[in-house]
Structure 1
């Protein structure tokens, strides 16, 4: 029994602890965002942040209630180990909504960065919706079950959900990195700034699937990126007294600013 508890509800407990830490960081990031951008950002972006924080709150609350019910209210009750509570499945709906919302935000950034190239963005959007739909179907089917043994019958669908989710994360991050790489002009200062943006995009992107935190970090770091872009633009003008190449550099700065400011 001890081994079963460790490999099942032990993992669930660890997930709740880690999730609580990330939730706390997300709340702090959300407070920082609304404190700084509540008067400057458009309503739809503020609504997106509010919606994601709300879903994250429900998700954390449901997970906490589930682990409490399993290991506190039913302490030492072996019969409960195989029982699947519906609330544990309902949590997936909120997680699914967060994932889709953040991925759509990143797709919008890619659309702006790619100069509204539908051939680049449309496959990413379709892949994200496929991941969302597959997980939604999985959750609806899982609500009919009352034991973990029954849930195992959806193993193939579960694997498909994970594959689609991972693929959408990877391709969205790759598209952003490649578009930034393509924006390089050959000037050392420009390339240095874009390299920093590429690293920032990858580190705060969604390969780790920390959707809420990655979105809020991206929004809160806009001023830092814009400041770096402005300093780089000033440096370019001093480096090139003849004026040649300035238009290209300013355009690069403008496109970078679109990604982190105008698109938001």
Structure 2
């Protein structure tokens, strides 16, 4: 950091305050999403519910450490600019918590890629490799900071900061791209089911895009403004964005379930019209309509007990077993 005579409160205490406000808002959203998850996840396996609870505890500790950092600088050392030179123990601990939480969440997304890809080792290993590099680099840097007394000492490991933040953003983009690639391969030409796949792809894009933006923002702000705390405001949001992205995908299963049930209801109410139309329809069209109806019934029966990624995996397998590969897609062009 710069000397106390050159410190400015707007880009030091000010950005810490703004970052804390944003973190508090995201933590509130996390609490709401966690509550909704445990209200609706009675059929999820115990390890998944326990993992979500563990991630919520980590996020709560992260928020408590942010509060301690703000209290130390703004209350305990009120109008003491010398205190801004040294990082607090809570700030150092948050570095470790952030990378532990991110590693667990990325592992969940990696497992989804494994399911959706049908056991593609290349995709799985690439995601896991990036996640482990980020975890090792983050933990190594976080532990090393306990031996540093000032923020200026961080520059000794500047290359680790740049590499970790760069890999962080790359891992998020690659994870989202891998999920979208696997989902896109599940498309079959059926309008209703392809619409659900598109919705799942949107969730995947949102998972990686926002977190990547904040990772890159943290990297750029530290590289261009290493003497202030702007990079901290970006860095403090990362674990909360990751956890909210995970909870959003888990809680979206009910919305997907309602869409399927709503579609089934419309089809049931319109059945007489379809019956009259089937008399004049071609055999290929009739076969596709029956397969589409069977697929919606299959989804409505099984969606209660699967996650959104597992739903897409079952969707792909069911499509391949119901439809003949020769002329199926051609009839929907």
TM-score by length of 1: 0.88
> Match for residue 211 of structure 1?
242
Q: Any stretches of 5+ residues in structure 2 without a counterpart?
A: 212-240, 279-283, 312-333
Distance 2:27 2:125 in 1: 31
State whether structure 2 residue 253 is matched by structure 1 residue 250.
no
> Match for residue 10 of structure 1?
14
Trace 1:1-264 onto structure 2 (pairs within 5 A): 4-37=8-41, 39-203=42-206, 205-209=207-211, 210-229=241-260, 242-244=286-288, 246=291, 250=295, 260=308, 262=310
Q: Deviations over 1:123-175 (max 9, x none)?
A: 11111111111111111111110111111222111000101111110000011
Q: Deviations over 1:153-202 (max 9, x none)?
A: 22111000101111110000011111111211123333323222222322
Q: Is the 8 A contact 1:89 1:143 kept in 2?
A: yes
Distance 2:264 2:203 in 1: 19
Q: Deviations over 1:57-79 (max 9, x none)?
A: 00000011111101111011122
Distance 1:183 1:259 in 2: 16
SS of residue in 2 equivalent to 1:154: helix
Between Structure 1 and Structure 2, how many residues are aligned? 259
- Between 1:170-179 and 1:239-248, the stretch displaced more is 239-248
RMSD value, Cα: 2.7
- Structure with the bigger RCO (C-alpha within 8 Å, sep 6+) is 2
Distance 1:261 1:113 in 2: 7
- Distance change in 2, residues 1:259/1:219 (3 Å): closer
SS of residue in 1 equivalent to 2:286: coil
Distance 2:293 2:123 in 1: 23
Q: Any stretches of 5+ residues in structure 1 without a counterpart?
A: none
Distance 1:233 1:109 in 2: 27
